[in-house]
Amino acid sequence: MLKLPIYLDNNATTPMDPRVLEAMLPYMTEMFGNAASRNHAFGWQAEEAVDYSREQIAKLINCDPKEIIFTSGATESDNLGIKGVYEMYAQRGNHIITATTEHKAVLDTCKHLEKQGARVTYLPVNSEGLISLQELEAAMTPQTILVCIMYANNETGTIQPVREIAAIAHKHGALFMTDATQAVGKIPVDVLADGIDLMAFSAHKMYGPKGVGALYVRRKNPRVKVTAQMDGGGHERGMRSGTLNVPGIVGLGKAAELCRLDMESDNARISTMRDRLEKELLTLEESYVNGSREHRLPHTTNISFKYVEGEGLMMGVKDLAVSSGSACTSASLEPSYVLKAQGLSDDLAHSSLRFGLSRFTTDEQVDYAIGHVKEAVTKLREMSPLWEMFKEGIDLDKIEWAEH
């Protein structure tokens, strides 16, 4: 029996893997020690669990376990990384480069720093959502201290050329940071090979618990330092004070281990389902994939259905949990700023749906989604005067609409 609604919003959050929950449970009841308590077995147990988690994460992203700073999630990691670098390297310069399609956790942090005197360059993206390496190179100045470009986009799945971006940043003496929330655990991420100096990511996007994440901070070549944004007992190498969320950290570690072991087989299955979903939905006339089809995450597709009203579409597919933007901004009726940055019109951006599949998505669910979306789009278009005009061969771009 197919259970409705069907969850296809895995870029917003993923269900927790039962194996992750199993690893966490003992640390909520019997082994409840504070990892900073150095005087007794309860504290040592907790500290050992945290250290083991650092190792599991380090293996996934190819870093030293000591380079993992635990946080409450990717939003905090973005804030700590960007603000921490801005304060720590203030002597060297005040210029940050980012992109218009970044997550709000990056954009709003940059906006905050602009009020404090930072100069921020927001690079545009092309129709596939990719930045131009030439424009990045041209934007670099002797004052540039940080280039912060996301690894993979949360709305379209577009993957940026991270290695090339890192090389340009380093050539000009700047640090490279990436918000890799959507990439870590989903695709191979190697901080050494990629040239990443700081990287934010989160447990709940990779089948782990909510409320825990990490910031990778490189320790050598170069040794990166960030100013703490929260003061206290000097936990996490002095970069992030506060009693560690031991059960959450254990969950993040276990999730990282499972992703490392299962990534290849998961992705082979998930991308096959995604491609089938996409191919079937594109049989609807005037349907378009948003973002790069060559450089993107294996589990994501974002499709616009022309001549369909956005809110109508969301209501039409009420048996599917999908989104028409990122989870953090989906409460607003504004069309997605990511899709608009890629050059989509308001109408087309409004009529887009993001599908995010996971290791728990089944073929049966995908079949249902295909039928459900096709039916909804067809029905809504039958009610649309614009669709009728389009079918009659009227060029809607050339129409002068009367002012009220």
For 382, residues 6+ apart whose C-beta sits below 8 A from its C-beta are none
Place of tokens 């380079």: 67
User: Omega into 161 within 30° of 0, i.e. cis?
Assistant: no
Give the whole-angstrom CA distance, residue 272 versus residue 370: 14
Place of tokens 């771009």: 397
Partnered with residue 323 across adjacent β-strands are 354
Q: Is 259 a catalytic residue?
A: no
How far from the centroid of its chain's Cα atoms is residue 241's Cα? 25
Question: 215: closest CA among 236, 194, 233?
Answer: 236
DSSP 336: P
Q: State the chain's maximal CA–CA distance in angstroms.
A: 80
The total of other beta-carbon atoms located within 10 Å of residue 129's CB is 28
| Contacts within 8 Å (CB) and 24+ apart, 20-28 | 20/207, 20/208, 20/209, 20/251, 20/254, 20/255, 20/258, 21/251, 23/250, 23/251, 23/253, 23/254, 24/209, 24/247, 24/248, 24/250, 24/251, 24/254, 25/247, 27/246, 27/247, 27/250, 28/247
User: What end-to-end distance do the CA atoms of the chain give, in Å?
Assistant: 51
| Helix/strand/coil for 326 | coil
C-beta of residue 402 within 8 angstroms of C-beta of residue 334: no
Question: What is the Cβ-side half-sphere exposure of residue 244, based on CA atoms within 13 angstroms?
Answer: 34
Question: 179: closest CA among 189, 169, 167?
Answer: 189
What is the C-alpha radius of gyration for the chain, rounded to an integer number of angstroms?
A: 22
Q: What's the full length of the chain, in residues?
A: 404
Give the whole-angstrom CA distance, residue 103 versus residue 122: 12
Catalytic residues: 328
